[in-house]
Amino acid sequence: MKREILLGAITIILTLNVSAIDLNPFFKYKHEKEIYVVKKEFGIKKIVIPFYFNKASTSFDLKQLLRIRPGMIRKITYTYADNISKLSQKELNRKRITILSDAFSRRLDKHAREILYETCIQTKAEARRQLFTGFVISFELPNQNLGNALESALNYDSKTSHPKKIKSIFQIDTLIEYDYHLYRYENHSHGEFKIAINKLKKYSYWKNRVIVTDVTGSMYPYTKQILLWLKLNYTKHSNQSYVFFNDGDGPKTKKYIGKTGGIYYCKNSDGFNNILKTAAKAMNNSKGNIDLVENDLEAIDKGCEKFWQAKNIVLIADNNAPPRDTALLVNIDKPVHVILCGVKDDRAIRTAYLNLAYKTNGSIHTMEQDLLFITQSNEGKTFTFMGNNYIVRNGKLERYEKT
């Protein structure tokens, strides 16, 4: 009898070990669009997984998902056409998301809570049957010596070089087997990459500041624009310092809070060429960036030690990549002004960045809105930012849904 009980216990444990994490609870954020469009993003690769219309099945080889390093996944979008039968659609959603969960075979267990999830409901009724149904997985590509590319770009001579031919902005792919049309958008505008420049100019009263910049792969276009602006407006005697961070030099399987490294420093008095070389070196050494989270607060903390006379910290961060080291927030006693890159389509702001700005009486900035925290708010206070609702709970900001 004891042997039977023991065998039963072993069976249960084995079953628990092979079960994949259920991703269904993560797809809470829903929004509507007439048509879903896949947007090209620098340094980001996208895998498209179509599901048959009104079915929980696909002919896509789901084993391909095992090739993706889970820590590099930034976002998973689930999209489908609006369905009159809400109960039927709810069950379809559950089954499809479960299939995706199982395909990852527990490899997402550690990283699931760091990934952004969204459900896009398409509302163009007359084209409902042709609207893409399925998942789009966005993940970051490894660094490819972007520091060298940065130096070349900043030394680029527009007078002797010929402009590249611009491709069509919109493209439509036809998935014949599924009878879907999938729209793609090639964004050739540099406007969104100038967010940091625009905010630095708008808030020029942030005097004696340290600019702390994430220089991992997907942040390349933003870093390029910052340095181009600095090159054109460089003043050697300006009281401004820089910290560039890459979430660790060299390949690392384990990273420790406060000791991840990959942090580089310079100041205006070093000269523009040295600032450029420092940023490029940080980029080229970004071999340890093997997961989504970054060492933002370590970079801020070290920057405050290095440039202790600074009055303001400006963090230029990737909203898609949350900080790994929020525990270091207690060390930071200067206002942190967070400029968030990659905030699109009412995408939720990472609460870690909101709390960094809130706890330090700093501010948070996107292309569309600015939010300044002059003082700490009372418990239970609510506010709306970028279309999302937040509440002060236990001294921290949390996102909540209005009932």
Say if residue 88's pLDDT is above 90.
no
Say if residue 335's pLDDT is above 90.
yes
What's the confidence (pLDDT) of residue 403? 67
Mean pLDDT in residue range 92-114: 87
Tell me if 16-157+176-185 shares its fold with 191-399.
Answer: no
Comparing CA positions, the residue from 322, 331, 265 lying closest to residue 298 is 331
What's the confidence (pLDDT) of residue 390? 92
What's the confidence (pLDDT) of residue 355? 96
Backbone phi, psi, residue 62, to 5°: -65, -15
Domain regions of the chain by residue span: 16-157+176-185, 191-399
Are 374 and 361 a contacting pair, CB within 8 Å? yes
Comparing CA positions, the residue from 319, 196, 303 lying closest to residue 244 is 303
Under the banding of pLDDT at 50, 70 and 90, the label for residue 6 is very low
What's the confidence (pLDDT) of residue 248? 82
**Residue where the block lists tokens 């060429």:** 273
Say if residue 11's pLDDT is above 90.
no
| Residue 73, H or E segment | strand 73-81
Answer whether CATH 3.30.70 is correct for domain 191-399. no
Under the banding of pLDDT at 50, 70 and 90, the label for residue 13 is very low
Q: What angle do CA 3, 9, 11 make, to 5 degrees?
A: 105
- Tell me the pLDDT tens digit for each residue of 26-75: 888 888 888 898 887 777 888 999 999 999 999 999 988 888 888 888 88
Under the banding of pLDDT at 50, 70 and 90, the label for residue 7 is very low
What's the confidence (pLDDT) of residue 162? 40
User: What CATH number labels 16-157+176-185?
Assistant: 3.30.1330.170
Under the banding of pLDDT at 50, 70 and 90, the label for residue 358 is very high
Choice between 6 and 262, residue whose per-residue pLDDT is larger:
262
d(CA 19, CA 13): 10
Share the mean pLDDT of the chain: 83
Q: 42 is written with which tokens?
A: 């620098």
Angle between helices 272-284 and 146-154 (to 10 degrees): 160
What's the confidence (pLDDT) of residue 342? 84
The single-letter DSSP state of residue 155 is T
Q: 364 is written with which tokens?
A: 């948070």
What's the confidence (pLDDT) of residue 356? 97
Under the banding of pLDDT at 50, 70 and 90, the label for residue 288 is low
What's the confidence (pLDDT) of residue 154? 76
What's the confidence (pLDDT) of residue 185? 75
